[in-house]
């Protein structure tokens, strides 16, 4: 389990967020939602131990993360960035094998077992046919799935994803979301806990996730998506009227109510005749 208790985050002595509390366990998906600048990326860096907390604590497996080595953290938490541009034309399998670094000793090389783990991760995500393709030549969605496979090969029980569908087209977003949703349901000795950030509330509904809704440096609400992502909460956070509707299949979607009277949004100078 990863847990934050009364956490204050920021840089130097300048807090970006205060009083933050969260928990994520194996088999759960926690979705961080909030406008730009609310502190999602800073929170991620603090949870990963890359940035010291201004106050409060982060516990990993019940122990303060500050008391754990980078190797211990890497064996427990895998990180999937928004985008990744390797400096060399690695094969996709080689990128996935990089996830095995957390399991190897200093100067050790991946062996047959590591390669088998990497191939199994790609096979689980349905991308084993990409193993010997040039990673830099893959589509955005394919590269994102390779990065998720790298996280699986790391054999960490928690996976942190920073806007995993950013810059992807509609089809690739759906494909990546489907794979993320399956991570918490992997059969075996343990499933994965997933923390992800997104700008799309509909993704939280699609993943049936728990939501941490951030607003003005704090947490406005936390809980199941269907309880947290209300019209009132979303309108408060994003500053425009938002309607939450149910589709014929019963799934909820968010619809911003945009002004239809263009004259109401024109600048006064533009409305004044010459």
What is the dotted CATH code of the domain comprising 2-271?
A: 3.40.50.300
Max Cα–Cα distance, the chain, nearest Å: 77
What pLDDT does residue 186 have?
54
In the block, residue with structure tokens 């799935």: 145
What pLDDT does residue 194 have?
93
Pair 164, 196: CB distance under 8 Å: yes
* CA 13 from centre of chain: 26
Output the CA torsion sign for 168, 125, 150, 109.
negative
Domain ranges of the chain: 2-271
Angle between helices 140-153 and 170-183 (to 10 degrees): 10
What is the rounded CA–CA span in Å between residue 162 and residue 166? Answer: 9
The predicted-structure confidence for 100-127, as pLDDT tens digits, reads as follows: 988 887 777 888 999 999 999 999 889 9
Of the ranges 73-77, 106-110, 203-207, 245-249, which one carries the lowest mean pLDDT score?
106-110
Q: How many CB atoms lie within 10 A of CB 47?
A: 26
Above 80 in pLDDT, residue 76? yes
Above 90 in pLDDT, residue 40? no
pTM exceeding 0.95? no
Above 80 in pLDDT, residue 83? no
Q: How many CB atoms lie within 10 A of CB 18?
A: 17
Q: Where are the alpha helices (DSSP H) in the chain?
A: 40-47, 70-76, 92-97, 112-124, 140-153, 170-183, 201-207, 225-228, 231-238, 268-271
Q: How many CB atoms lie within 10 A of CB 212?
A: 27
């Amino acid at each position: 389990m990863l847990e934050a208790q009364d956490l204050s985050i920021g840089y130097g002595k300048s807090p970006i967020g205060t009083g933050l509390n969260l928990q994520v366990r194996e088999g759960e998906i926690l979705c961080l939602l909030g406008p730009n600048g609310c502190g999602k990326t800073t929170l991620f860096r603090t949870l990963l131990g890359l940035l010291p907390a201004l106050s409060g604590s982060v516990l990993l497996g019940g122990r303060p993360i500050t008391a754990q080595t980078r190797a211990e953290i890497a064996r427990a938490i895998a990180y999937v960035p928004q985008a990744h541009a390797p400096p060399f034309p690695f094969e996709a399998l080689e990128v996935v094998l990089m996830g095995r670094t957390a399991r190897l000793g200093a100067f050790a090389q991946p062996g047959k077992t590591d390669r088998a783990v990497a191939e199994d991760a790609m096979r689980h995500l349905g991308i084993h046919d990409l193993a010997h393709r040039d990673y830099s030549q893959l589509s955005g969605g394919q590269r994102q799935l390779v990065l998720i496979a790298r996280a699986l090969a790391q054999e960490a029980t928690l996976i942190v994803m920073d806007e995993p569908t950013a810059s992807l087209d509609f089809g690739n977003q759906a494909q990546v979301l489907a794979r993320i949703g399956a991570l918490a349901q992997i059969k075996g000795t343990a499933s994965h806990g997933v923390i992800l950030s997104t700008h799309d509330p509909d993704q939280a509904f699609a993943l049936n996730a728990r939501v941490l809704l951030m607003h003005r440096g704090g947490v406005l609400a936390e809980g199941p998506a269907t309880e947290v992502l209300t019209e009132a909460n979303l309108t408060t956070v994003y500053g425009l009227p938002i309607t939450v509707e149910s589709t014929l299949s019963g799934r909820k979607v968010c619809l911003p109510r945009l002004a239809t009277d263009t004259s109401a949004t024109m600048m006064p100078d533009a409305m004044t005749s010459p």
